[in-house]
Structure 1
Amino acid sequence: MTSPAGDDPNGAAQPQADEMAAAVAEFARQRDELAVITHRMETETVEVTSPDGLITVTSALNGAITGLSLAGEEHRDLTGAALAAKLLEALVTTREAAQAAALQVAGPLVAGPGPAGTMVPGDPLGDALADLDALFRNPFQQQTEQDRL
């Protein structure tokens, strides 16, 4: 004869096993989602051309600059300081565009309080989360404005 679940030591263990299996499945789903997001952040790009058409900058969504080009020969007429200012402006604008695009890709992931702080350093998943966390929680624009002062 079978005992009621309350008397059966295995009966209490089943809900815990189900909860653990559900947690593992959710972790695997999130890990897979993060892998897709990380791949997109590394491979998808934005391209921004300065208003005068002189400078074009390409950046991956993770902020890595992947291309820089100068149109024509007009840059030769600029002073070093003027060219540097135009380059910096184009880089900042491109970074902002990359951040906006990255938010579209990873928005749900970064909406929370930031799980990266709970990950183990050196773990690829933790490192990826930390990189995403830093990308969205480190306001590049504010740093750039402070650097200009």
Structure 2
Amino acid sequence: MLHSINLPSCLLDKCDAVLNFAELDIDLIIQELVYTSCGTPEYLAPEAILGKGHGKAVDWWALGILIFEMLVGDTPFVDEHPFLTYKKIISSIPDSPLYVESPAKDIVKKLLTHDTTKQLGCMQNGVDEVKNHQWFKSIDWDEILGKKAEGSNYSKTCSRW
């Protein structure tokens, strides 16, 4: 589990159209609930903020925040003050702008569900629920796993560090 590492600043593009996680100094395999939290305030899940103990649901929450930010250009609970950001996360339901298409709205809504027993990715079929969502219908997961998929906006002129 990632447990809300610092997204999206931990994503790297290695010039091969494959995103990679970079900030994995929190290299733990967690089997039970944890009661600590770290990460970008806008990406923290309600249960992490409230100190209720959290598991993989916080990672699905962070994915919902990341998708929302990629679509809209900002996180759904942003505020100048972290305390107000936390308050919004705990008490608000994100509202997508009208220009966001239905499948995108639906996956964000299902990932940013406060009830983790009903959250996409946390129910009986786990990750398959996410992978089979309408928003990912054009994704060939086997190609991605085999690093054979090429990004649609991938530039062949990527500079090396």
TM range (shorter): under 0.3
TM-score, normalised to structure 2, is 0.26
TM-score, scaled relative to structure 1: 0.28
The one of the two structures with greater contact order (alpha-carbon pairs below 8 A, sep at least 6) is: 2
